[in-house]
Structure 1
Amino acid sequence: MRICYIQHESFEGIGAIGGWAAEKGYTVSGVHVYKGDPLPEVDAFDWLIVMGGSMGVYDEDRYPWLSKEKKFIEASIKADKLILGVCLGAQLLANVLGAPVRRNIVKEIGWFDVSLTPHGWNSPIFKGLPATFKAFHWHGDTFAIPESALHIASSMACANQAFVYGERVVGLQFHMESTRESIEAIVRGCQEELLEEGEFIQKADKLLGTETLFIELKKNLHALLDAMERQA
């Protein structure tokens, strides 16, 4: 399996996904669009992973590469590639599929519960996950569920936390790939957001979590990736 990931910020890599791919013996290549890396040909990979970032899906004026990336994502969907979008990546998927992306009612930053919907319970990709589990969050925007996609998960702060389009395209508003190191990097990159007050904004000391949280998160990440792998 050839995995290609798109990275939008220096501090938002693939985290624990890299370890899973290494265990499987898969090849992994990264496209750092913020550095000007060119996007590959669609036939150069089997699985596309679109990561997060602090920009919004409509910020083409500030980030001109967003327009090309959206066309690339659209071509990847049409080519029936396996695709996982995380945070901004999920918002880009939703946008490409015709759904609006807007400000969420509140910012959600920290460790909060995600609960599966009935569609999630029955999804071949998500049914191996607990009905409710802790995940890491860092977002201010939210996506609408694209037409023909299934609404998979929600949280108290954000109704639309995950969707599945067809059998091979998955969007996650939350982060399952997080490690202590990756969270430390995001805190360094976006620390000004932690100065804000909000019911769903945790302080930096809570963001680093506990060993138990990371163990459970990795277990759930592997369950999700294994299920997506089976869809291939």
Structure 2
Amino acid sequence: MTRILVVEHEAECPPALFGTWLEDAGAGLEVCRPWAGEELPGPAGLPAYDAVVVLGGSMGADDDELHHWIGPVKELVRSSVASGQALLGICLGHQLVASALGGTVERNPRGQQVGLYDVGWLPEAADDDLVAGLGPVRGVQWNSDVVTGLPEGAVALARTDAGELQVARFAPRAWGVQLHPEVDGPVVASWAAGDRDDHLERGIDQAAVIADIDGARAELDAAWRPLATRFAELAR
């Protein structure tokens, strides 16, 4: 069975639907929670896995001094890329891959991105091993930071209409998605609760955002399950 290491940064950002889809595709998951004191595998332990998924979180990609595991996760990313493992970063995970490989991550000057966004596929996505053929889709975004500078050799695969990076291939077998293909209703509701005061100040109608996401559930599942299936296939 394909073994995938999943790195979780906080309880509010679990593998959720993406984990279920990976398992449906025949993968076995091992979730490591360094925020709860679990030890990340070192370079000697990585060969036990066929692939790595790094999930999202509320911390920043360069918060090494604030969160003791951020630096080690970036070391793990570098080791994974060097080994040629399949690697996928989601939201913070996407930013961590960028930072680990020499890119830059900054606060989005346009403010937090919240809700459903069209995925602006670029021509480079057409023959990519992971995302080719996914077609016009929407995805959930819930992020304040964005990757503003790609590491050397990385390729942008999708951007928003305003130009923010949404999907990238950081190495031949390493990808990142700023969107959240994994989220279900309870996960989004927990994020909304944490951001309630800020969203009230900014005039964001959380109820409408959540209703939009819930109403698009079938669309989102159909759009993003193939990403998990293909990643599991690439991991074999």
1:35 — aligned with what? 36
The alignment partner of 1:61 has SS state of coil
TM-score between both structures, scaled by the size of structure 1: 0.91
1:61 — aligned with what? 65
Q: 1:84 aligns with which of 84, 88, 92?
A: 88
- In structure 2, list runs of 5 or more residues that go unmatched: none
1:194 — aligned with what? 199
1:104–1:158 contact (8 Å) kept in structure 2: no
2:81–2:171 contact (8 Å) kept in structure 1: no
Instruction: Quote the offset at 1:126 in angstroms.
Output: 1.4
Instruction: Quote the offset at 1:208 in angstroms.
Output: 4.1
Q: State the identity %.
A: 28
- In structure 1, list runs of 5 or more residues that go unmatched: none
2:181 — aligned with what? 176
2:32–2:38 contact (8 Å) kept in structure 1: yes
1:150–1:165 contact (8 Å) kept in structure 2: yes
Amino acid at match of 1:125: L
1:155 — aligned with what? 160
Provide closer, same or farther for how the CA distance between residues 8 and 189 of structure 1 changes in structure 2, counting only shifts above 3 A. farther
2:21–2:229 contact (8 Å) kept in structure 1: no
1:231 — aligned with what? 234
Provide closer, same or farther for how the CA distance between residues 188 and 79 of structure 1 changes in structure 2, counting only shifts above 3 A. same
Amino acid at match of 2:93: G
Instruction: Quote the offset at 1:31 in angstroms.
Output: 0.9
Instruction: Quote the offset at 1:211 in angstroms.
Output: 5.1
Structure 2: distance between partners of 1:28 and 1:219: 22
Q: 1:96 aligns with which of 92, 100, 103?
A: 100
Structure 1: distance between partners of 2:52 and 2:7: 8
Say what the alpha-carbon RMSD is for the aligned residues.
Answer: 1.9
Instruction: Quote the offset at 1:156 in angstroms.
Output: 2.9
Aligned residues: 229
TM-score between both structures, scaled by the size of structure 2: 0.89
